[in-house]
Amino acid sequence: MAESIFPADFLWGGAIAANQAEGAYLEGGKGITTVDVIPHGKDRMAVKLGVEERFALREDEFYPSHGAIDFYHRYKEDIALMAEMGFTVFRTSIAWSRIFPNGDEQQPNAAGIAFYRDLFSECKKYGIEPLVTLCHFDVPMHLVREYGSWRSRKMVEFFTHYARICFEAFDGLVKYWLTFNEINIMLHSPFSGAGLVFEKDDNKEQVKYQAAHHELVASALATKIAHEVNPENQVGCMLAGGNFYPYSCKPEDVWAALEKDRENLFFIDVQARGAYPSYARRLFKEKGIVVEMEPGDSDILKDTVDFVSFSYYASRCASADMNDNNSNAANIVKSLKNPYIEASEWGWGIDPLGLRITMNMMYDRYQKPLFLVENGLGAKDVVNEQGEINDDYRISYLREHIKAMGEAIEDGIPVMGYTSWGCIDLVSASTGEMSKRYGFVYVDRDDQGNGTLARTRKKSFHWYKKVIASNGMDLD
Compare residues 405 and 434 and give the one whose CB is closer to ligand BG6.
434
Residue 94 has, within 13 A of its CA and on its CB side, a CA count of 35
Q: Please report the beta strands in 215-276, taking only residues with DSSP state E, as ranges in sequence order.
A: 234-240, 244-246
Q: Is 331 in the site for ligand BG6 (CB under 6 A)?
A: yes
Contact string (CB under 6 A) for ligand BG6, positions 6-35, x = contact: -----------x--x---------------
Please give the Cα distance from 328 to 323 (Å, whole number). Answer: 9
Q: Which is nearer to ligand BG6, 315 or 331 (CB)?
A: 331
| Shortest distance, position 19 Cβ to ligand BG6, whole Å | 8
Q: Considering the rule CB under 6 A, would residue 233 count as an interface residue with ligand BG6? A: no
268 part of the interface to ligand BG6, by CB under 6 A: no
Report d(CA 196, CA 181) in Å as an integer: 16
Which residue from 333, 324, 81 is spatially nearest to 185, judged by alpha carbons?
333
Tell me if 430 contacts ligand BG6 by CB under 6 A: yes
How far is C-alpha 272 from the geometric centre of its chain's CA atoms? 17
The answer to whether 304 contacts ligand BG6 (rule: CB under 6 A) is no
Q: Out of 342, 374, 410, 433, which one is annotated catalytic?
A: 374
Checking 208-212 for CB contacts under 8 A at 24+ apart, the result is 209/284, 209/287, 209/289, 209/291, 210/151, 210/289, 210/291, 210/292, 211/149, 211/150, 211/151, 211/186, 212/150, 212/183, 212/186, 212/187, 212/266, 212/267
Closer residue to ligand BG6 in complex, CB, 276/313? 313
When the beta carbons of 160 and 428 are compared against ligand BG6, the nearer one is: 428
Least separation in angstroms between residue 318's CB and ligand BG6 is 19
Q: Does 310 bind ligand BG6 (CB under 6 A)?
A: no
User: Is 184 a binder of ligand BG6 (CB under 6 A)?
Assistant: no
Q: Write the DSSP string, 301-346.
A: TT---SEEEEE-S--EEE-TT--TTT-EEETTEEE---TTSEE-TT
Residue 171 burial (10 A CB sphere; 0-12, 13-18, 19+): middle
Based on CB atoms, which residue is closest to ligand BG6, 346 or 363? 346
Check residue 378 for interaction with ligand BG6 (CB under 6 A): yes
What is the CA angle 348-353-356, rounded to 5? 110
Cβ pair 419, 374 in contact under 8 A: yes
Q: Do the Cβ atoms of 349 and 338 come closer than 8 Å?
A: yes
Report the length, in residues, of the chain. Answer: 476
Residue 465 vs residues 12, 73, 230, 279: alpha-carbon distances, Å: 10, 25, 33, 45
To the query of whether residue 374 is one of the catalytic residues in this protein, the response is yes
- Find the farthest-apart pair of alpha carbons in the chain and give their distance in angstroms, rounded: 66
247 binds ligand BG6 (CB under 6 A): no
We find the least distance from the C-beta atom of residue 343 to ligand BG6, in angstroms, to be 13
Told to check if 429 binds ligand BG6 by CB under 6 A, we report yes
Instruction: Give me the least distance between CB of 433 and ligand BG6, in Å please.
Output: 8
The one-letter code for the residue type at 47 is V
Of the candidate residues 316, 368, 436, 458, the single one contacting ligand BG6 (CB under 6 A): 436
Calpha distance 21→65 (Å, rounded): 7
Does residue 428 interact with ligand BG6 by CB under 6 A?
A: yes
Closest CA to 5 of 364, 462, 404: 404
181: contact with ligand BG6 by CB under 6 A: yes
- Number of chain positions touching ligand BG6 (CB under 6 A): 15
Select the residue interacting with ligand BG6 from 207, 240, 370, 467 (CB under 6 A).
240
By the 8 A CB rule, do 14 and 421 touch? yes
For ligand BG6, the closer of residues 354 and 378 by Cβ is 378
Q: Please choose, out of 201-209, 322-330, 355-363, 422-430, the segment that lies near ligand BG6 by the rule CB under 6 A.
A: 422-430
Question: Based on CB atoms, which residue is closest to ligand BG6, 276 or 397?
Answer: 397
Q: In whole angstroms, what is the distance from residue 131 CA to residue 90 CA? A: 6
Q: Is 157 a catalytic residue?
A: no
**For ligand BG6, which is the closer residue by CB, 161 or 394?**
394
Among 22, 122, 182, 215, the active-site one is 182
- Taking the least distance from each CB to ligand BG6, the nearer of 230 and 430 is 430
Q: Does 445 bind ligand BG6 (CB under 6 A)?
A: no
**Nearest-approach distance from CB 421 to ligand BG6, in angstroms:** 5
CB of 168 to ligand BG6, least distance (A): 26
Residues 6+ apart with CB under 8 A from 153: 214, 292, 294
The Cα 205–Cα 266 span in angstroms is: 14
The yes or no reply on residue 182 touching ligand BG6 (CB under 6 A) is: yes
Piece in contact with ligand BG6 (CB under 6 A), picked from 5-13, 121-129, 279-287, 423-431: 423-431
328 binds ligand BG6 (CB under 6 A): no
**Contacts with ligand BG6, residue ranges (CB under 6 A):** 17, 20, 137, 181-182, 240, 311, 331, 374, 378, 421, 428-430, 436
Catalytic residues: 182, 374
